[in-house]
Chain A
């Protein structure tokens, strides 16, 4: 079974600064997908960014980028120019890409609560 670990229960950053959220995972599979989801106080789960394990290039979405280290099984999220609206819980998640796998959805980490200081 796969596991996802987010070792930072809470992080705090000044507005306009850069922050990196850590995520490591454990799997014996070689093909998989990784995701970061944002959950603001509204409780809505919002997809921030995704990464296919077979792609060496790190995914980027505007101010959000990842540092994907496959050998180290690490998938960190960098938020540049932090804004007040970035305050939320952030969840790292894993999905198998093996044939017949992935049907059981995502495996989530326990989350990191990001606080933005004005």
Chain B
């Protein structure tokens, strides 16, 4: 039972480079999320998806793009990385939006942009 799996776990990028973070869930969840966590800021929503083929912007979407081509996968892309994108990124998923359907989180990706 893998749950939510994020790859990679760590990555170092140079300013201007691009990369894609992969999130995969095996729980048949409809809803998927990308958050970033910065010291003293809690978790902030970047983008989310309410189903295959759909995406929407969250609180801090600038500089990121996402795709949900398959229900089980949610990709987060950085087209031109900036030092301000140094953060820990979390993917999460949930079956529905109710309180009995809490978010399940991956273990995070630590990204450093130099």
Contacts and interface: CB of A to CB of B under 8 A. Distances in A.
Do A and B bind? yes
A44 B97 contact: no
A104 B41 contact: no
A105 interface: yes
A28 B24 CA distance: 34
Given A105-B33, A110-B41, A97 B98 contact: yes
Interface in B78-114: 88, 90, 92, 94, 97-99, 102-103, 105, 107-108
B99 A50 contact: yes
Contacts, number: 65
A109 B41 CA distance: 8
Contacts of B94: 105
Chain A interface size, as a band, is 20 to 34
Contacts of A35: 102
23 contacts: A6-B42, A33-B99, A42-B107, A43-B88, A43-B107, A43-B108, A45-B90, A45-B105, A52-B99, A97-B98, A102-B97, A102-B98, A103-B31, A103-B97, A104-B45, A104-B58, A105-B31, A105-B33, A105-B35, A108-B43, A109-B42, A110-B40, A111-B40
